[in-house]
Structure 1
Protein backbone atom coordinates (compact mmCIF):
# COMPACT_ATOMS: atom_id res chain seq x y z
CA UNK A 1 0.00 0.00 0.00
CA UNK A 2 1.29 3.44 -0.88
CA UNK A 3 0.95 6.63 1.18
CA UNK A 4 -1.14 8.26 -1.54
CA UNK A 5 -3.86 5.60 -1.48
CA UNK A 6 -4.91 2.26 -2.96
CA UNK A 7 -5.40 3.39 -6.55
CA UNK A 8 -3.24 1.81 -9.23
CA UNK A 9 -0.51 4.08 -10.58
CA UNK A 10 -1.14 5.93 -13.83
CA UNK A 11 1.30 5.70 -16.70
CA UNK A 12 3.30 8.81 -17.57
CA UNK A 13 3.87 10.19 -21.05
CA UNK A 14 6.33 12.96 -21.79
CA UNK A 15 5.11 16.15 -23.47
CA UNK A 16 7.49 17.08 -26.26
CA UNK A 17 5.80 19.39 -28.78
CA UNK A 18 5.21 23.12 -28.62
CA UNK A 19 1.40 22.86 -29.08
CA UNK A 20 1.22 20.64 -25.98
CA UNK A 21 3.03 23.26 -23.90
CA UNK A 22 0.98 26.12 -25.39
CA UNK A 23 -2.23 24.31 -24.43
CA UNK A 24 -0.91 23.97 -20.88
CA UNK A 25 -0.17 27.69 -20.82
CA UNK A 26 -3.94 28.30 -21.04
CA UNK A 27 -4.60 25.99 -18.08
CA UNK A 28 -4.23 26.26 -14.33
CA UNK A 29 -1.05 27.84 -12.87
CA UNK A 30 0.03 26.95 -9.37
CA UNK A 31 3.20 28.45 -7.87
CA UNK A 32 5.11 26.01 -5.70
CA UNK A 33 8.19 26.71 -3.62
CA UNK A 34 10.76 25.48 -6.13
CA UNK A 35 8.86 25.62 -9.43
CA UNK A 36 5.67 26.63 -11.20
CA UNK A 37 3.12 23.90 -11.99
CA UNK A 38 0.82 24.24 -14.98
CA UNK A 39 -2.06 21.78 -15.29
CA UNK A 40 -4.99 21.12 -17.58
CA UNK A 41 -7.56 18.45 -18.26
CA UNK A 42 -7.04 17.20 -21.81
CA UNK A 43 -10.64 16.08 -22.09
CA UNK A 44 -9.77 12.96 -24.06
CA UNK A 45 -10.13 9.27 -23.25
CA UNK A 46 -6.38 8.64 -22.84
CA UNK A 47 -5.80 7.63 -19.18
CA UNK A 48 -2.09 8.52 -19.25
CA UNK A 49 -0.75 11.43 -17.24
CA UNK A 50 1.20 13.84 -19.46
CA UNK A 51 4.20 15.64 -18.02
CA UNK A 52 6.67 18.15 -19.44
CA UNK A 53 9.63 20.04 -18.02
CA UNK A 54 11.19 23.36 -18.87
CA UNK A 55 13.75 25.76 -17.48
CA UNK A 56 14.46 29.10 -19.09
CA UNK A 57 17.90 30.63 -19.40
CA UNK A 58 17.07 32.71 -16.32
CA UNK A 59 17.67 29.53 -14.29
CA UNK A 60 21.32 29.58 -15.29
CA UNK A 61 23.73 28.04 -17.74
CA UNK A 62 23.13 24.66 -19.41
CA UNK A 63 24.57 22.76 -16.46
CA UNK A 64 22.22 24.49 -13.99
CA UNK A 65 19.18 24.05 -16.28
CA UNK A 66 19.90 20.36 -16.81
CA UNK A 67 20.36 19.76 -13.09
CA UNK A 68 17.07 21.50 -12.33
CA UNK A 69 15.26 19.47 -15.00
CA UNK A 70 16.75 16.18 -13.73
CA UNK A 71 15.44 16.97 -10.25
CA UNK A 72 11.99 17.86 -11.61
CA UNK A 73 11.88 14.66 -13.71
CA UNK A 74 12.72 12.50 -10.71
CA UNK A 75 10.13 14.24 -8.52
CA UNK A 76 7.48 13.75 -11.21
CA UNK A 77 8.45 10.09 -11.63
CA UNK A 78 7.91 9.53 -7.91
CA UNK A 79 4.78 11.63 -7.28
CA UNK A 80 2.70 11.87 -10.48
CA UNK A 81 1.80 8.18 -11.06
CA UNK A 82 -0.16 8.20 -7.78
CA UNK A 83 -1.07 11.88 -7.23
CA UNK A 84 -1.64 13.00 -10.84
CA UNK A 85 -5.04 12.62 -12.42
CA UNK A 86 -5.46 10.40 -15.48
CA UNK A 87 -6.27 12.46 -18.55
CA UNK A 88 -4.42 15.52 -17.29
CA UNK A 89 -1.23 17.18 -18.52
CA UNK A 90 1.26 18.89 -16.23
CA UNK A 91 4.29 21.11 -16.88
CA UNK A 92 6.92 21.76 -14.23
CA UNK A 93 8.79 25.00 -14.83
CA UNK A 94 12.05 25.45 -12.93
CA UNK A 95 12.92 28.61 -11.00
CA UNK A 96 16.27 30.29 -10.60
CA UNK A 97 18.22 29.11 -7.54
CA UNK A 98 15.12 27.44 -6.09
CA UNK A 99 14.76 24.23 -8.10
CA UNK A 100 18.36 23.04 -7.94
CA UNK A 101 18.99 24.25 -4.40
CA UNK A 102 15.84 22.93 -2.71
CA UNK A 103 16.08 19.79 -0.54
CA UNK A 104 14.64 16.87 -2.50
CA UNK A 105 12.07 15.93 0.17
CA UNK A 106 10.85 19.53 0.15
CA UNK A 107 10.67 19.42 -3.67
CA UNK A 108 8.45 16.32 -3.45
CA UNK A 109 6.23 18.06 -0.88
CA UNK A 110 6.03 21.13 -3.14
CA UNK A 111 4.79 18.94 -6.01
CA UNK A 112 2.20 17.15 -3.87
CA UNK A 113 0.90 20.46 -2.49
CA UNK A 114 0.78 22.07 -5.94
CA UNK A 115 -1.20 19.11 -7.30
CA UNK A 116 -3.67 19.39 -4.42
CA UNK A 117 -4.16 23.11 -5.10
CA UNK A 118 -4.52 22.55 -8.84
CA UNK A 119 -7.31 20.01 -8.38
CA UNK A 120 -9.41 22.02 -5.94
Structure 2
Protein backbone atom coordinates (compact mmCIF):
# COMPACT_ATOMS: atom_id res chain seq x y z
CA UNK A 1 0.00 0.00 0.00
CA UNK A 2 1.49 3.40 -0.97
CA UNK A 3 2.21 5.96 1.73
CA UNK A 4 -0.44 8.60 2.35
CA UNK A 5 0.24 12.25 1.62
CA UNK A 6 0.78 14.30 4.78
CA UNK A 7 -2.26 16.26 5.97
CA UNK A 8 -0.37 18.88 7.99
CA UNK A 9 3.07 20.43 8.02
CA UNK A 10 5.31 21.90 5.34
CA UNK A 11 4.96 18.86 3.07
CA UNK A 12 1.15 19.27 2.93
CA UNK A 13 1.16 22.71 1.32
CA UNK A 14 -0.54 23.21 -2.02
CA UNK A 15 1.64 22.11 -4.92
CA UNK A 16 3.80 19.85 -2.77
CA UNK A 17 5.16 16.81 -4.54
CA UNK A 18 3.02 13.74 -3.80
CA UNK A 19 4.65 10.57 -2.46
CA UNK A 20 6.86 8.70 -4.92
CA UNK A 21 4.27 5.95 -5.31
CA UNK A 22 2.01 8.38 -7.19
CA UNK A 23 4.75 9.57 -9.55
CA UNK A 24 5.19 6.26 -11.31
CA UNK A 25 5.08 6.65 -15.06
CA UNK A 26 4.01 3.98 -17.51
CA UNK A 27 7.12 2.50 -19.12
CA UNK A 28 7.45 1.67 -22.81
CA UNK A 29 8.49 -1.93 -23.30
CA UNK A 30 7.51 -2.88 -26.84
CA UNK A 31 9.95 -2.41 -29.69
CA UNK A 32 7.19 -0.99 -31.92
CA UNK A 33 6.62 1.87 -29.46
CA UNK A 34 10.31 2.78 -29.55
CA UNK A 35 10.35 2.62 -33.36
CA UNK A 36 7.32 4.91 -33.63
CA UNK A 37 8.99 7.36 -31.26
CA UNK A 38 12.20 7.31 -33.33
CA UNK A 39 10.24 8.69 -36.30
CA UNK A 40 8.80 11.53 -34.21
CA UNK A 41 10.20 14.89 -33.14
CA UNK A 42 13.45 14.86 -31.18
CA UNK A 43 15.93 17.21 -29.51
CA UNK A 44 19.57 16.41 -28.84
CA UNK A 45 21.18 17.80 -25.70
CA UNK A 46 24.75 17.28 -24.45
CA UNK A 47 23.66 14.53 -22.05
CA UNK A 48 20.88 12.71 -23.92
CA UNK A 49 18.47 12.70 -26.85
CA UNK A 50 14.77 13.21 -26.15
CA UNK A 51 12.10 11.93 -28.55
CA UNK A 52 8.43 12.87 -28.13
CA UNK A 53 5.44 11.40 -29.92
CA UNK A 54 1.73 12.05 -29.44
CA UNK A 55 -0.42 8.92 -29.30
CA UNK A 56 -2.41 8.30 -32.45
CA UNK A 57 -6.21 8.18 -32.47
CA UNK A 58 -6.12 4.54 -33.58
CA UNK A 59 -3.94 3.41 -30.66
CA UNK A 60 -5.44 1.62 -27.70
CA UNK A 61 -2.99 3.33 -25.36
CA UNK A 62 -4.35 5.21 -22.40
CA UNK A 63 -4.13 8.97 -22.10
CA UNK A 64 -1.27 8.58 -19.64
CA UNK A 65 2.30 9.74 -20.01
CA UNK A 66 4.50 6.88 -21.19
CA UNK A 67 8.28 6.95 -21.08
CA UNK A 68 11.08 4.73 -22.36
CA UNK A 69 14.83 4.65 -21.78
CA UNK A 70 17.59 3.25 -23.91
CA UNK A 71 21.37 3.22 -24.00
CA UNK A 72 23.36 1.46 -26.72
CA UNK A 73 26.59 -0.41 -26.18
CA UNK A 74 28.41 2.73 -27.35
CA UNK A 75 27.65 4.18 -23.90
CA UNK A 76 29.84 1.53 -22.31
CA UNK A 77 29.61 -1.78 -20.53
CA UNK A 78 26.52 -2.92 -18.64
CA UNK A 79 27.51 -1.03 -15.50
CA UNK A 80 27.87 2.26 -17.41
CA UNK A 81 24.62 1.72 -19.34
CA UNK A 82 22.69 0.94 -16.16
CA UNK A 83 24.09 4.01 -14.40
CA UNK A 84 23.11 6.20 -17.35
CA UNK A 85 19.60 4.73 -17.45
CA UNK A 86 19.16 5.24 -13.68
CA UNK A 87 19.99 8.92 -14.11
CA UNK A 88 17.59 9.24 -17.05
CA UNK A 89 14.82 7.51 -15.07
CA UNK A 90 15.30 9.93 -12.21
CA UNK A 91 15.16 13.10 -14.30
CA UNK A 92 12.01 11.77 -16.00
CA UNK A 93 10.43 10.84 -12.66
CA UNK A 94 11.08 14.31 -11.27
CA UNK A 95 10.01 16.37 -14.29
CA UNK A 96 7.42 14.51 -16.37
CA UNK A 97 4.52 14.60 -13.89
CA UNK A 98 4.69 18.40 -13.95
CA UNK A 99 6.02 19.14 -17.45
CA UNK A 100 4.84 16.17 -19.51
CA UNK A 101 1.62 16.12 -21.49
CA UNK A 102 -0.87 13.26 -21.17
CA UNK A 103 -1.21 11.21 -24.34
CA UNK A 104 2.47 11.52 -25.25
CA UNK A 105 5.33 9.03 -25.39
CA UNK A 106 8.77 10.20 -24.28
CA UNK A 107 11.98 8.28 -25.07
CA UNK A 108 15.31 9.26 -23.50
CA UNK A 109 18.46 7.98 -25.17
CA UNK A 110 21.75 8.03 -23.26
CA UNK A 111 24.88 9.47 -24.83
CA UNK A 112 28.41 8.12 -24.66
CA UNK A 113 30.51 9.65 -21.91
CA UNK A 114 27.97 12.35 -21.06
CA UNK A 115 24.83 10.90 -19.49
CA UNK A 116 26.68 9.30 -16.61
CA UNK A 117 29.22 12.06 -16.06
CA UNK A 118 27.42 15.41 -16.48
CA UNK A 119 26.17 17.12 -13.31
CA UNK A 120 22.64 16.03 -12.43
CA UNK A 121 21.42 19.64 -12.26
CA UNK A 122 22.56 20.21 -15.84
CA UNK A 123 20.71 17.09 -17.02
CA UNK A 124 17.55 18.34 -15.31
CA UNK A 125 17.85 21.79 -16.89
CA UNK A 126 18.51 20.28 -20.32
CA UNK A 127 15.48 18.02 -19.93
CA UNK A 128 13.17 20.93 -19.05
CA UNK A 129 14.52 22.96 -22.00
CA UNK A 130 14.13 20.04 -24.41
CA UNK A 131 10.55 19.41 -23.25
CA UNK A 132 9.63 23.06 -23.73
CA UNK A 133 11.16 23.06 -27.21
CA UNK A 134 9.37 19.88 -28.30
CA UNK A 135 6.02 20.88 -26.83
CA UNK A 136 6.23 24.19 -28.71
CA UNK A 137 6.52 22.21 -31.97
CA UNK A 138 3.53 19.95 -31.34
**TM, length-normalised to structure 2:** 0.78
Q: Indicate conservation of the 8 Å contact 1:10/1:48, yes or no.
A: no
Instruction: Identify the match of residue 98 of structure 1 among 114, 129, 132.
Output: 114
Which residues of structure 1 form unaligned runs of 5+?
4-8
Q: Distance in 1 between matches of 2:68 and 2:134?
A: 16
Deviating beyond 3 angstroms after TM superposition, the runs of 4 or more aligned structure 1 residues are none
- Give the number of the structure whose alpha-carbon radius of gyration is greater: 2
Instruction: Identify the match of residue 76 of structure 1 among 92, 105, 117.
Output: 92
With a CA cutoff of 8 Å and minimum separation of 6, indicate the structure with the bigger relative contact order.
1
Give the strand-richer structure, 1 or 2.
Answer: 1
SS at match of 2:130: helix
Q: Indicate conservation of the 8 Å contact 2:24/2:93, yes or no.
A: no
Q: Distance in 2 between matches of 1:117 and 1:48?
A: 21
Q: Indicate conservation of the 8 Å contact 1:30/1:37, yes or no.
A: yes
Q: Indicate conservation of the 8 Å contact 1:34/1:95, yes or no.
A: yes
